[in-house]
Amino acid sequence: DDGSAGEKGNVISALCKVLEENKIDMIQTCGPHKMMEAVATKAQEAEVFCEISLEEKMACGVKACVGCSIKTLDGMKKVCHDGPVFDSKIIVDVNPKENLGCNCN
Ligand code: FES
């Protein structure tokens, strides 16, 4: 972040600079949810297709539980079966269980 190696600033400031200076067709991101949310927002503002790769806690890994469920515009999806890569525009909530006050992790 301090610029001692590469760009000074965070991922979003670097992304803004790249988007300003280049013609970008697609962004692919992984990492912390808040960072991916910010990347997806910037991509949408710049009208650039964006895919996010979710790394959720997986209890079964074979679509048998709801441990990795996310809410999308196409309904609930399971990261282990339907992902882990999703079009950022369809993601509504990557932590639906948290927002329901559910203790099922
Ligand atoms: S980890 Fe159980 S459904 Fe995805």
Residues 3 and 48 in one domain: yes
Name which residue leads in pLDDT, 100 or 19: 19
Q: Are 103 and 87 in contact (CB under 8 A)?
A: no
Residues 3 and 21 in one domain: yes
At residue 94, the pLDDT reads 83
Q: Which band of pLDDT confidence, cut at 50, 70 and 90, is reported for residue 103?
A: very low
* Residue 88: DSSP 8-state: G
At residue 64, the pLDDT reads 94
Domain assignment of residue 65, given as a range: 56-105
At residue 97, the pLDDT reads 66
Residues 46 and 84 in one domain: no
At residue 99, the pLDDT reads 56
Partners of 75 in the β-ladder: 72
Residues 69 and 82 in one domain: yes
User: In ligand 1, which atom is closest to the CA atom of 63?
Assistant: 3
Q: Is the peptide bond before 84 cis (omega within 30 degrees of 0)?
A: yes
Distance 23 CA to ligand 1 centre (A): 37
Residues 48 and 63 in one domain: no
State pLDDT tens for residues 16-74: 999 999 999 999 999 999 999 999 999 999 999 999 999 878 899 999 998 899 999 99
Distance 55 CA to ligand 1 centre (A): 12
Number of neighbouring beta carbons within 10 Å of residue 50:
22
Residues 74 and 28 in one domain: no
Q: How many domains does the chain have?
A: 2
Backbone angles phi, psi at 70, to 5 degrees: -130, 155
* Residue 2: DSSP 8-state: B
Counting ligand 1 atoms within 8 A of each CB, the residue from 54, 55, 57, 60 with the most, and so the one to mutate, is 60
Q: Which tokens sit at 56?
A: 């959720």
Distance 69 CA to ligand 1 centre (A): 7
Q: Which band of pLDDT confidence, cut at 50, 70 and 90, is reported for residue 104?
A: very low
